[in-house]
Structure 1
Amino acid sequence: MLANYPLSKTEEAFLRESGIEKITTRIPYLTVDNFPKLGLMTACRFLEWVSDNPEGVISLPTGKTPEYFIKWTQFLLDNWDKKKGLEIREKYGLKDIKKPVLKDLNFVQIDEFYPIASQQKNSFYHYVNKFYLEGFGLDPKKALLINSDEIKLAEGKSYREIFPDFRVDLSLRFREYTNEQERLQQQSIYLIDQWCAEYEAKIREKGGIGFFLGGIGPDGHIAFNTRGSDLFSTTRLTETNFETQAVAAGDLGGIEVSANRLVITIGLDTIVHNRDAVAIIIAAGEAKAPIVKSSLESAMTNVYPATVLQKLKNGRFYLTKGAASKLEDSIDQFYASGEWTCLKTERAVLELCKKLQKYGHRLTMEDLKNDKYTRQIPDLNENTVNEVIRSISSKIDKGLEEEKNEVLLHTGPHHDDISLGILPHITKQLHENSNKAHFAVLTSGFTAVTNSFVIDTLKNTKRFLDTGRIQMVKYEDFFESGYKLKMDKDVYHYLTNVASENAEERLRGLCHRVVRAIVFIFGVKSSLELRDQINEIITVLKNSYDGEKNPKNIQTLKGMIREFEEELVWAHFGVQVKNVHHLRLGFYTGDIFTEQPDKKRDVEPVLDMLREIRPTKLSLTLDPEGSGPDTHYKVLQATAEAVRQWSKEEDLSHFKIIGYRNVWFKFDAAESNVIVPVSLGDMSVMEDSFTNCYLSQVNASFPSYAHNGKFSTLARITWVNQLSDVQLLLGKNYFYQHDTAKVRSSHGLIFFREMNVEEFLREARELEKSTEGML
């Protein structure tokens, strides 16, 4: 299977555990169940390599991807000869090696934004110093780092003088300068290019990188070598593409910043210069599955930069099963292993329809027997496709069922998750008067609000105060207790002016809520104090660099703006403010690595909410693999533990849990058990409510790499594509000739899974087990 690729003892152990029986890709890979375990596998391989190369050259990644690699490495070093450490070592091929010593390793920084101050906490320079040099106890004298402050520029000037707006125009490499500032910029670019060449030379003087670990971007980039990069590229100053800018937006405070910031990166040839190097790409989650497939199954090409690892006998991909799910090997194993299930039959037939672009009723027995997956269906016969059609149709029937006398609790990790996931399903529930609905967002979501949005809002708040248009501050008891009252009035005022298209009055409604928030957070006692506090917040934000972690009270203000936005969405359907719950779980801090959920701090608020509301149905984002945005699976852990504890107090035999997904990761029609038709009207409601209510998100400062625009548009595209997949099986006439108007009007579909408590806890438990004993 891997005759041409030597496996280490650690890799052999993880390969055995994975159950993989066949690897046919051009670069070998290993898989694990979830994101935390991906970190364990990587840490074990790293320490195994260090034990043989105590003075070797290493290059390690930044960002959220290596979170569990860092945590497991530190855990193993701290517990090397303790019970848990010994158990892991024995299980994964580290039993016979001495505890590795990291202090003599040579470190090479992979990449950096340019320009960026080295002391900024969102610089990669700061990251590697904190988590690798300090965290791993490496010697700074043996480190090659990218420090923007130390790269010499024209006439000894700083980058703030040369590039005052932080924009570097690389066309100056090839054209004449037009003024004195451009002359200095041109000279500086040449000096940066020279610095990059010298950086490359220093790496090669060390013999090249011996152990490289990197993530992979949605376009396939490794380091900042984006799609189209030269396979023989070296360290350089370069531009990025949209996908990379979207991913970097979180680090830099919005795509407005990342779109105009260049990067310094080692090249593809830098990574593979040492042909004996161990080079590992790690990827988690189904969102990465398409680019993983292209990178592993394609010949070497600049279209997929990671294919350069084909040059190395020790080049590897370490993947979660979700990230590996589109590999032909994984698909083969899915169908070949274990008992045959209805899920396998449905998925095989649905995929055959897509592959052949044939409607289900037109599939022939010859088509079924010629396909390597459908031919495996037990008792394959002329009625097989009709049985799949009936099964999928029954899921649509389930999505059409009327729900009455339900107490509904819809939850999301972030504001807008619920809306983007299942809004059309919820609107149907809300139209039934016997249902009672509650909505809960479990984190405060402040990281999604830019400084510039808050500054603009506060300036408008001052303007309204100065012109006497926020009259509530004049009430005698406002600063004592009045600010807590009439929250629904703010919402009603705002939405009334959505209807009348009065933008100025909508803004005034927002500013009313901001005033209440400031009084609540800062405890101001008068209009004068209020103005002073607004000015102070503006000053703090103006003096903050883009992407800087805000003080806690400003985090709370940003979070309360998001909470107001959520209240506006559900008020569209008559839901009162008191039925929109804001839990602000404590693990969500704005740090690059958030804490694991704590049973008292993070679970008890969810459990108390369940006890108070006593829902009959609970919805949540279901990401049991532990990939995607880390907040999603940490919220899942907290919610699962709360449900587990509640189940000990109450009879939950009739309690249902709806697991939905949205723009980050998706179900397919086969693995879902409820399919909800979505009309053009549903799509318009979702688009309009998103645009009018999620004010801080409309400009898409933190977009998905899959779409340069609002998440609501991406959600609509997802629903439309899901209809397209099912339509190939059922036929278009199934929809436009259906007896039910809701189906006839459908132009999109939502997939989700309805589970009982036991089914839900079983899935969530797999993720929890992956981090036990580490934290």
Structure 2
Amino acid sequence: MLSKYPLSEVEKSFLKESGVEKISTLIPYLTVDNFPKLGLLTACRFLEWAAENPNGVISLPTGKSPEFFIKWTQFLLENWDNKKGKDVREKYGLGNCKKPVLKDLTFVQIDEFYPISSKQHNSFYDYVNKFYIQGFGLSKENAILINSDEIPLANGLTYKEVFPDLKVDLSLRFRDPQNDLEKLQQESIYLIDKWCGDYEQKIRDKGGIGFFLGGIGPDGHIAFNTRGSHIFSVTRLTETNFETQAVAAGDLGGIEVSANRLVITIGLDTIVYNPEAVAIIIAAGEAKAGIVKDSLETPLDNVFPATVLQKLKNGRFYLTKGAAVKLTDSMDAYYEKGEWTWEKTERAVIDLCKKIGKYGHRVKLSDLKADKYTKLIPDLSEETVSLVMKSTEAKLAKGLEQETDEVLLHTGPHHDDISLGILPHITNQLHEPSNEAHFSVLTSGFTAVTNTFVIDTLQHTKKLLDEDRIQMVNFEDFFEVGYSLKTDKDVYHFLTNVASERAEERERGLCHRVVRALVIVFGVKNKAQLRETINEVISILRNSYDGEKNPSKIQKLKGMIREFEEELVWAHFGVQVKNVHHLRLGFYTGDIFTEQPDKKRDVEPIVEMFRKVNPTKISLTLDPEGSGPDTHYKVLQATAEAVRQWGEEKDISNLRIIGYRNVWFKFEPHEANVIVPVSLGDMSVMEDSFANCYLSQVNASFPSYSHNGKFSTVAKRIWVNQLNDIQLLLGKNYFYQHDRAKVRSSHGLIFFRDMNVEEFLATARELEKSIEGML
């Protein structure tokens, strides 16, 4: 495979570093260790191509995926001739490459929502102009762009006049209009279709795209060519599917918007029209591993749009190791290279049970010898499966251990991460009175609160003020000091009315906390000013477009709503407000690309929290590859540095680190060393606390692509699936006949990794190393 396809000097360098010796997929691929390194690889390959094709046609992606591609490209251009730049170039195949000049390249915009104003900062048109046209110094005149404001519609009208609710009904392509507005809309759709044809022709008149870089969606979509798109599709106005709408919800301000917005996208045939094109798909993280395997190992198929790259000799996938983990090549290399570990034995046996559909105690030696991976197990015998079963039972036993006299600090990047990751494990800890528990969410999390939720809450607050049902504002010292007192009372009031099922009173508890937040954020001094502030915030939000970055004070208000929600969850178990710490790290800004964590601004608050709490165990989301939301790995970086610094001040050799994962990224059984049983009662507690406390999330405005609903349901499904895997190994009898009630009642399992400080820092260090050369 390696000799069949031409590799550039950059690709040869990265291939050598990857250690990959065999590529048997239908499209070649390269692997790197993590998400930031993926950006370096794509930047080097782009600059190599641009140096050879100064007048070429390029098409580059939007969204969060290209963050490090953009940063590394700018870094290399700015440092081309100094030592920092030369060192990177020499290492990765650009040593003999002349500095590329990008101004004469023709840029082709891949896709755009429709309709959306080009002036909105969440439009791809704005993104392209900011990060590529201006950021890379490209020519605006040469660019072929998608500007919704300039696409001609019937009678010269604007899209807001033709589509007043911003919904485009594509059935009008084929049916008779029912009224004058529909007649206008039908004429306009035909005009948009003509515009798309002209757009396609402009690209083909240039010879087609010479360098294409794109991400891949959870359903396999390339650009907005979703699962099932025609292999010969061209630029068009089209609908999307749920998975794509869920991914786009973050850009557009919620699934409520993205579900009703169409898209204009180049087609699969547009991407491969130029037979010499370099077309690269990037993918990071194990969440993408399944679709990557299907895209690389399946013959040309419209169910997997990326298979179209098989048409190009320069078609490539650039992957993190996590995204490549399910490839046959990766599996072969994992088992065949290096020393054999116990983890390999566990993985091979558990996977074999799933492959042949047999319980562990029924797997025969002949089954082990017939499988390409289990046959490699050293000293293979009738006892092999039994040993794996015992090892797994030991992990379960560890998950059943009653911890005592621990100071527990549970941390999460966002509100709800801790609950969705390990709530049943935490409840076990909280039942033991000798344990002291603290909870800390490291970012404000305001981007997860919709404008509509805040408007509705503020209107209700105003109504309660009119009815004199928020009596604390009548106290003499409320606006001086009273607003900061009795915050536990808000929490208790709210949860009491959850218990009594009085929804109106429950919401009054939220409004109490919102009033306190308004006083803190806006410096409100009296009741009149409070009312004015509420009206002003409502006005600002009503005049904002969905997905628009809010002013900093409204960001803070939204964040404080999320913080209240987090306090409510842990108050279920008697945890006081003072033990729920809100760090609001400064790198979290609501921009498309948040900053890298700063060692003073973002690390020092974590170290200070460690000093204050003095934990014996710290839990955190373990996403060392940068495969989940970018906040996850940035928080991981900051936390790892804080642990390192704290370790310089005191002996933390006995500190334990609990690495958990949740709806974004999950452990396989062989990766975890602790397994915690989850009962139906545990699941109910998690579902109920989520629904009753995370009020801003219940409508699932920013859902997982795997489920159109609450994240708590996604977490529950993961736990159930994890039980299924272990049941296939241990047998169902093991669970329902176990001598411990906790195991007998388990209908799900949680996996996590218990590490010492050195193990944790080693895991996090690779991610830090991949970025530090750029900073």
Please state whether the residue corresponding to 1:142 is helix, strand or coil: coil
CA distance in 1, matches of 2:665, 2:433: 32
| Corresponding position of 1:560 | 560
Once the 2 structures are TM-superposed, how far is the Cα of residue 626 of structure 1 from its aligned partner? 1.7
Task: Specify the SS of the correspondent of 1:225.
Answer: coil
Is the counterpart of residue 356 in structure 1 residue 353 in structure 2? no
Matched, 1:90 2:90: yes
For 1:292, the aligned partner's letter is V
Superposition deviation, residue 91 in structure 1: 1.1
Moved more, 86-95 or 479-488: 86-95
Question: Distance between the aligned counterparts of 1:21 and 1:99, measured in 2?
Answer: 31
SS at match of 1:717: helix
Distance 1:11 1:2 in 2: 11
Given that 2:610 and 2:646 are in contact with CA atoms closer than 8 Å, whether structure 1 keeps it comes out as yes
TM-score for both structures, normalised by structure 1: 1.00
The answer for the alignment partner of 1:400 in structure 2 is: 400
- Matching residue of 2:440: 440
SS of the aligned residue for 1:140 comes to coil
Which residue does the alignment assign to 1:116?
116
The letter for the 2-side match of 1:403 is E
Q: Which residue matches 2:591?
A: 591
Query: Hey, what does 2:6 align to over in structure 1?
Result: 6
The aligned residue for residue 519 of structure 1 is: 519
1:535 matched to which residue of 2? 535
Pair 1:733 & 2:729 matched: no
Identity among equivalent positions (%) equals 78
Q: For 1:8-157, what aligned pairs fall within 5 Å after superposition?
A: 8-157=8-157
Q: Is the partner of 2:706 in helix, strand or coil?
A: coil
Q: Deviations over 1:602-645 (max 9, x none)?
A: 00000000000000000000011122100000000000000001
Q: Which residue of 1 aligns with 2:344?
A: 344
The alignment partner of 2:658 has SS state of strand
291-300 vs 648-657, which moves further: 648-657
Q: CA deviation at 1:382?
A: 1.1
Question: 1:638 aligns to what SS in structure 2?
Answer: helix
- For 1:530-578, what per-residue CA distance to the aligned partner results, in whole angstroms no more than 9, with x for missing partners? 0000000000000000000000000000000000000000000000000
Secondary structure at 1:280 match in 2: strand
Aligned match of 1:214: 214
TM-superposed CA distance for 1:84, in Å, is 1.5
Deviations 1:474-525 (A, max 9, x none): 0000000000000000000000000000000001000000000000000011
- In the TM superposition, residue 713 of structure 1 has moved relative to its aligned partner by 0.3
Which secondary structure state, in structure 2, belongs to the residue aligned with residue 620 of structure 1?
strand
Q: CA deviation at 1:4?
A: 2.0
**Secondary structure, aligned partner of 1:212:** strand
What one-letter code is carried by the residue in structure 2 that aligns with 1:238? T
Question: Aligned partners of 2:560, 2:334: CA distance in 1, in Å?
Answer: 45
Whichever residue aligns with residue 275 of structure 1, its letter is: P
Task: Show the counterpart of 1:464.
Answer: 464
The equivalent of 1:376 in structure 2 is 376
State the one-letter code of the partner of 1:529: Q
Amino acid at match of 1:584: R
Whole-Å Cα distance in 1 between the matches of residues 248 and 657 of structure 2? 34
After TM superposition, give the deviation of residue 668 of structure 1 in Å: 1.1
What per-residue deviation string (whole Å, max 9, x for no partner) do you get for residues 109-135 of structure 1?
Answer: 000000000010000000000000000
Distance 2:327 2:773 in 1: 32
The residue number in structure 2 matching 1:473 is 473
**1:225 has 2:230 as partner:** no
Amino acid at match of 1:4: K
Match of 1:696 in 2: 696
> Which amino acid is 2:601 matched to?
R
2:212·2:277 contact (CA, 8 Å) conserved in 1? yes
| Distance in 1, Cα, partners of 2:661 & 2:156 | 53
Alpha-carbon distance between aligned partners in 1 of 2:627 and 2:634, rounded to the nearest angstrom: 10
- Of the structure 1 ranges 330-339 and 24-33, higher mean CA displacement relative to structure 2 is found in 330-339
Counterpart residue type for residue 487 of structure 2: M
Q: Tell me what 1:261 maps to.
A: 261
> Deviations along 1:2-37, whole A, 9 cap, x unmatched?
222111011011001000011111000000000000
Quote how far apart the aligned CAs of 1:269 are. 0.2
One-letter amino acid of the counterpart of residue 333, structure 1? A
- Deviations for 1:235-272, whole angstroms, at most 9, x for unmatched residues? 00000000000000000000000000000000000000
Deviation at 1:580, TM superposition (A): 0.3
| One-letter amino acid matched to 1:487 | T
Identify the residue that residue 204 of structure 1 maps to in structure 2.
204
- Deviation at residue 773 of structure 1 after TM alignment: 2.2
DSSP-derived class of the 1:770 partner = helix
Determine the C-alpha separation between the residues in 2 that align with 1:70 and 1:607.
31
State how far apart, in whole Å, the 2-side matches of 1:354 and 1:99 are: 52
Residue 681 of structure 1 aligns with an amino acid whose one-letter code is G
Further displaced range: 491-500 or 91-100: 91-100
State how far apart, in whole Å, the 1-side matches of 2:628 and 2:711 are: 15
Superposition map of 1:143-292 within 5 A: 143-292=143-292
CA distance in 2, matches of 1:685, 1:342: 36
Counterparts of 1:107 and 1:196, CA distance in 2: 16
How many residue pairs get aligned? The number is: 775
Matched with 2:774 is 774
Partner Cα separation in structure 1 for residue 218 and residue 622 of structure 2: 22
Determine the C-alpha separation between the residues in 1 that align with 2:480 and 2:128: 48
After TM superposition, the structure 1 = structure 2 runs for residues 487-506 of structure 1, keeping only pairs within 5 Å, are 487-506=487-506
- 1:559 partner amino acid: G
Two-structure CA RMSD over aligned residues (Å): 0.5
Alignment partner, residue 300 of structure 1: 300
Q: Deviations over 1:168-188 (max 9, x none)?
A: 000000000010100000000
Aligned partners of 2:627 and 2:665 also within 8 Å: no
String of CA shifts for 1:434-470, please: whole Å, max 9, x gaps: 0000000000000000000000000000000000000
Normalising by structure 2, report the TM-score: 1.00
Q: What is the alpha-carbon distance in structure 2 between the residues aligned to residue 364 and residue 703 of structure 1?
A: 43
The question of 1:751 aligning with 2:748 is answered no
Name the CA distance, whole Å, in 2 between partners of 1:337 and 1:295: 25
Please give the per-residue CA displacement for 1:173-231, whole angstroms capped at 9, x wherever unaligned: 00000101000000000000000000000000000000000000000000000001010
- What letter corresponds to residue 9 of structure 1 in structure 2? E
Residue 681 of structure 2 corresponds to which residue in structure 1? Answer: 681
1:102 alignment partner AA: L
- Provide the secondary structure at the position in 1 that maps to 2:141: helix
1:623 aligned partner: 623
1:553 corresponds to which letter in structure 2?
K
State how far apart, in whole Å, the 1-side matches of 2:111 and 2:382 are: 57
Q: CA deviation at 1:87?
A: 1.0
Whether contact under 8 Å (2:453, 2:696) holds in the other structure is yes
Report how far residue 420 of structure 1 moved. 0.2
* Aligned partner of residue 657 in structure 1, secondary structure: strand
Alpha-carbon separation, structure 2, partners of 1:97 and 1:739 = 68
> Following the alignment from structure 2 to structure 1, what is the Cα–Cα distance between the partners of residues 751 and 237?
44
Q: Which runs of 5+ in 2 are unaligned?
A: none
Distance in 2 between the 1:336 and 1:754 partners?
27
In structure 1, C-alpha distance between the alignment counterparts of 2:652 and 2:467, rounded to whole Å: 55
Query: Deviation above 6 Å: which 4+ runs of structure 1?
Result: none
- Alpha-carbon distance between aligned partners in 1 of 2:437 and 2:198, rounded to the nearest angstrom: 63
The 8 Å contact of residues 47 and 100 in structure 2, kept in 1 or not, is answered as yes
Query: What amino acid is the match of 2:614?
Result: R
Which residue pairs with 1:485 in the alignment? 485
**Deviation string, structure 1 residues 412-453 (Cα, Å, up to 9, x no partner):** 000000000000000000000000000000000000000000
SS in 1 for 2:618: strand
- SS of aligned partner of 1:676: strand
Equivalent-residue separation in structure 1 for 2:97 and 2:397 (angstroms):
59
Letter in 2 for 1:661: R
In structure 1, distance between residues paired with 2:222 and 2:82: 36
**What's 1:546 paired with?**
546
* Superposed counterparts of 1:450-461, under 5 Å: 450-461=450-461
Residue type of the alignment partner of 2:229: S
